[in-house]
Amino acid sequence: MVVDELTYFVLTVLLTVVSAAVLTLIRIFHGQRPCLDCWIVASYAQIVALLILLLQATPSNSSLFLMNSLFWASFILIVVGHHNYLQLKLNRRFISLVIVSYLILNLYSTLFINDTVQRVSIFSAAIALCCFYCAVLYFRYFLNNHKPALWLVIGLYLFLGICLLLRIYFARQQQDESQQLLLGAPALLSLALFTANALQSYVFYFLMHWRQIIQLEQLANYDVTGAMRRNYFIKLLDKMTRRAQFRGAEVALIFIDLDRFKLINDNYGHHSGDLALQHFAQIVMNNLRVGDIFGRFGGEEFVIALNNSNTQQAYALANRIRIQLHQQALVTNKGKVYLSASFGLASYQHEGDCTELIKQADLAMYQAKSQGGNKVIIYTAELNQQ
Ligand SMILES: Nc1nc2c(ncn2[C@@H]2O[C@H](COP(=O)(O)OP(=O)(O)OP(=O)(O)O)[C@@H](O)[C@H]2O)c(=O)[nH]1
């Protein structure tokens, strides 16, 4: 493959402009952050460097020096931005040393090296170092925060670093000096390299948003036990019952209240009480199917909605949870805690709204509690008269 020199540079400039524009938009809509500022300045520095290259067919030594300085400065800024993004302390001495070494290397290669391939090699090796450094930075971060999206960033920087090294290798293989970077594999690699470089802003855009949206959603909709908060649960239950109405399917609701929970707090401490709630929630979640939902209505009150399930299936599940709760003790430093709960069960009758269903299950649960707890009671219309 032969890439026309002009097409190659125009494409590269375009990609970098898009990258800078995306970062600027993120800053406008997402708010100011030092890491974003570093990446934005880095993108514009790259644009200026590329324009110098585009406008001067045979660049003078001074413009070569300026162009390389801008490129290297942009990668140092990217590294500084990552430090800030990951909230890592930046070793100022180390960064100053890197800046001074890059400046000396740049000056040396501009003044004393005439061979293009050698210049490209030094330039690419220096940037590859930055890329591998960023990959290591994120890998170390990944070891403590197992966020899958981090693999995207690690992979991207490894890819950039390897592309740069291959670029050196292929450039050295080419005999025709004028075509060294624009023919075959080196040309493809260079394009891939600049695409990946431009792509990094999008990766960060999605990474930042993905992390924040998930975190906010988690905080807003789920509590520490992993159960849904009341409002979110009711919203989903409402959707579930509407769908059931439409399809003529059944929805079963189980209302659960832990028995004598106050005693656990009093005898084992509030922390053990919290652990007991999480222990209970874990047992419930281990028994749910995809499509079922689990919520917490208050202190030790929980609800489960079973999609496409009849009363018998819900009864079997409630009973299974009741038995497992009784069998699987929570181990605390003051000894084992055996939990029990009262279960009330109601099923959706294809009419009314979901609040009626909750009321019925709640009533059945009170009946179970009034019979001494550790019981499953199914709602019947007679319960209203009691
Ligand atoms: N540790 C802990 N305790 C909680 C939490 N939320 C509510 N509680 C406690 O749960 C207890 C509930 O007490 P009660 O409403 O009397 O219920 P109970 O002791 O389970 O009695 P019955 O429901 O009649 O069996 C109270 O002492 C609350 O302080 C929580 O998040 N963590």
Angle CA 361–367–373, to nearest 5: 105
From the list 368, 276, 372, the residue with the least C-alpha distance to 319 is: 368
Percentage, residues of the chain above pLDDT 90: 31
Nearest residue to 169 via CA among 200, 190, 150:
190
What confidence score (pLDDT) does residue 177 get? 52
For 71-130, the DSSP string reads HHHHHHHHHHHHHHHTTPPP-HHHHHHHHHHHHHHHHHHHHH---HHHHHHHHHHHHHHH
- Integer CA distances (angstroms), 27 to 35, 38, 83, 99, 205, in order: 10, 11, 18, 26, 10
* DSSP-assigned letter for residue 346: E
> Residue 1: what pLDDT?
44
pLDDT band at 372 (very low <50, low <70, confident <90, very high): very high
Provide residues with CB under 6 Å of ligand 1.
257-262, 265, 270, 273-274, 277, 299-300, 369
Measuring CA to CA, how many Å separate 26 from each of 13, 19, 197?
A: 20, 11, 17
Q: Which atom of ligand 1 is nearest to the CA of 257?
A: 23
Q: Is 295 helix (H, G, I), strand (E, B) or coil?
A: strand
Question: What gap in Å lies between CA 183 and CA 171, rounded to an integer?
Answer: 9
Distance CA 194, CA 14 (A): 10
Task: Give the position of tokens 């290397």.
Answer: 105
Residue nearest atom 15 of ligand 1, based on CA coordinates: 262
Per-residue confidence (pLDDT) for residue 364, from 0 to 100: 96
> Which residue's CA is minimally distant from atom 10 of ligand 1?
262
Q: Residue whose CA is closest, atom 5 of ligand 1? A: 299
207's enclosing H/E stretch is helix 184-221
Per-residue pLDDT tens for 55-65? Answer: 876 778 888 88
> Cα–Cα distance between 151 and 138 in angstroms, integer?
8
Min mean pLDDT across 2-11, 254-263, 369-378 is at 2-11
| Closest Cα to atom 29 of ligand 1 | 262
Give Cα 157 distance to the centre of its chain.
18
Residue type, 104: I
Residue 373 Cα to ligand 1 midpoint, Å, equals 15
Pocket test for ligand 1, best of 222, 262, 270, 277 (most atoms within 8 A of CB): 262
For residue 153, report the distance from its CA to the centre of ligand 1, in Å: 45
80 — alpha (psi -120 to 50), left (phi > 0) or beta? alpha
The pLDDT tens digits for 127-151 are 889 889 989 988 888 887 777 777 8
pLDDT of residue 228: 94
Q: How far is the CA of 262 from the centre of ligand 1 (A)?
A: 5
Give the Cβ contact number of residue 327 at 10 Å.
9
Give the per-residue pLDDT at 306: 94
Q: Ligand 1 centroid vs 234 CA: distance in angstroms?
A: 22
User: What is the spatial distance between Cα 42 and Cα 48, in angstroms, rounded to a whole number?
Assistant: 10
For atom 22 of ligand 1, the residue with the nearest CA is: 260
Ligand 1 centroid to residue 299 C-alpha, Å: 6
Atom of ligand 1 nearest to the CA of 258: 20
64 phi/psi in degrees, rounded to 5 = -65, -45
Across the range 197-211, mean pLDDT stands at 63
pLDDT at 227 exceeding the cut of 60: yes
Determine which residue's CA is closest to atom 13 belonging to ligand 1: 262
More confident: 126 or 1:
126
Phi and psi angles of residue 267, each rounded to the nearest 5 degrees, phi first: -85, -35
Q: Which ligand 1 atom is the nearest neighbour of the CA of 298? A: 6
Is residue 190 very low, low, confident or very high in pLDDT (cuts 50, 70, 90)? Answer: low
